[in-house]
């Protein structure tokens, strides 16, 4: 297939593109605006592939997107471009409305116009795959409850509300215009090349720097953690084999309390990169854990029932949380230069210089 990936320089998008180029014969066009979270260094291992192209563009720029679609002639659009950080959405929701809602609308319209002029065989084969989040479902109250594909939407933050809106738009474009869409909603991703503002890389890097490890509230919030390379494998399954109009929840079967995630990272770092100043009885990295005021509207528990994608598409996560977290901590220890370039902003300055 020829696949256009929006947001392909982001964390999940870059993992998807690496997987497509390393494990399939598909051709990929990466369309990314290159906001702060877009980092082309995440794609250096595949950047020279003859099956890879990159275009810096905003999904809301209909003229540019239409030209890209006409030139590249994709068989599928995989839409990952989004603002995705909850804290940033609380501080400044406007960017989330613009990208996640207005941008998705513009992309849907550009894609619909492209799809409408395809011959009947290509029309039938074409797919628009919208990648979303479990946060659209809101909070789980029971300890045994799970999000299913039919769980009612109840978003809590500006971020999750904007993603819920984009999900509704995608479904409406299928129901109203017949655009062949697929949706997937994933749990918390983690793994290599994760932007350092997110919990797991933030804790790793703060610990190595001897800085406080901030934990919201009492740290009892529960999340289902999905290794990003497992997610990339699932996305390929959905776009290749999924049924038009269906939604697939993708989770890692790895529910963990936030405080336990932080403690697990500390234990791994104690093993792999012990504190030089630890000394006898210093308590290792856990001594750096600091509880901070909880953020507004913080959901207590997310957990996904991924039985549908397993049953219908034959996908299961390959990593446990223990194996995936160990791989992740090792990756950050081995790639501190990448991390520092993100932290000090030089990855953006170098990019602007190259442009």
Instruction: For 192-220, write each residue's pLDDT tens digit.
Output: 999 888 899 999 999 999 999 999 888 98
Q: Is residue 234 part of a domain?
A: yes
CATH number, position 160: 3.40.50.720
- Count of C-beta atoms within a 10 Å radius of residue 316: 13
Q: What predicted TM-score, i.e. pTM, was given to this entire model?
A: 0.93
**CA angle centred on 129, ends 161 and 153, rounded to 5°:** 25
Look at residue 124 in the predicted model and tell me its pLDDT.
97
Q: Is residue 142 part of a domain?
A: yes
Q: Which are the catalytic amino acids?
A: 134-135, 159
Q: List phi, psi (to 5°) of 32.
A: -145, 140
Positive or negative: CA dihedral 344, 349, 354, 355: positive
pLDDT in tens, 83-119: 987 888 899 999 999 999 999 999 999 999 999 999 9
Q: What is the mean pLDDT of the chain?
A: 93
Q: Is residue 337 part of a domain?
A: no
Q: Is residue 161 part of a domain?
A: yes
Domain range for 75 is 2-191+226-253+298-319
Range 137-144 contact pairs with CB under 8 angstroms and sequence separation of 24 or more: 137/185, 137/302, 138/299, 139/299, 139/300, 139/301, 139/302, 140/299, 140/300, 140/301, 140/302, 140/303, 141/300, 141/301, 143/301
pLDDT band at 280 (very low <50, low <70, confident <90, very high): very low
Residue 355 reports pLDDT greater than 60: no
Q: Is residue 201 part of a domain?
A: no
Burial of residue 242 (CB within 10 Å: 0-12, 13-18, 19+) is buried
Q: Is residue 153 part of a domain?
A: yes
**Count of domains forming the chain:** 1
Residue 348 reports pLDDT greater than 80: no
């Amino acid at each position: 297939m020829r696949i256009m990936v929006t947001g392909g320089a982001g964390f999940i998008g870059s993992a998807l593109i690496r997987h497509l180029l390393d494990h399939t014969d598909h051709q990929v066009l990466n369309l990314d605006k290159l906001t702060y979270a877009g980092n082309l260094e995440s794609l250096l291992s595949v950047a020279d592939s003859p099956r890879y192209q990159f275009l810096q563009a905003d999904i809301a720029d209909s003229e540019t997107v239409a030209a890209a679609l006409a030139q590249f002639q994709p068989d599928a659009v995989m839409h990952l471009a989004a603002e995705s950080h909850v804290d940033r959405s609380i501080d400044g929701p406007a960017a989330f409305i613009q990208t996640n809602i207005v941008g998705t609308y513009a992309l849907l319209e550009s894609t619909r116009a492209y799809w409408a002029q395809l011959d009947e065989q290509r029309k039938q084969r074409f797919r628009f795959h919208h990648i979303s989040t479990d946060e659209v479902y809101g909070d789980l109250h029971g300890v045994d409850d799970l999000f299913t594909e039919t769980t009612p939407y109840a978003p809590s933050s500006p971020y999750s509300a904007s993603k819920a809106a984009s999900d509704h738009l995608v479904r409406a474009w299928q129901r109203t215009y017949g655009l062949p869409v697929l949706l997937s909603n994933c749990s918390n991703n983690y793994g290599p090349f994760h932007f350092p503002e997110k919990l797991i890389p933030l804790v790793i890097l703060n610990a190595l720097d001897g800085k406080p490890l901030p934990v919201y509230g009492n740290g009892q919030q529960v999340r289902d953690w999905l290794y990003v390379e497992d997610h990339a494998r699932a996305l390929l399954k959905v776009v290749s084999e999924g049924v038009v109009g269906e939604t697939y929840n993708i989770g890692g079967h790895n529910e963990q309390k936030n405080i336990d995630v932080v403690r697990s990272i500390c234990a791994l770092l104690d093993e792999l990169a012990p504190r030089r100043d630890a000394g006898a009885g210093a308590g290792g990295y856990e001594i750096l854990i600091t509880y901070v005021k909880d953020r507004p509207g913080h959901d207590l528990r997310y957990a996904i029932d991924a039985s549908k994608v397993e049953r219908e598409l034959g996908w299961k996560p390959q990593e446990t949380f223990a194996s995936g977290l160990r791989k992740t901590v090792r990756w950050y220890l081995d790639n501190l230069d990448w991390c520092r370039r993100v932290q000090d902003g030089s990855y953006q300055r170098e990019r602007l210089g190259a442009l």
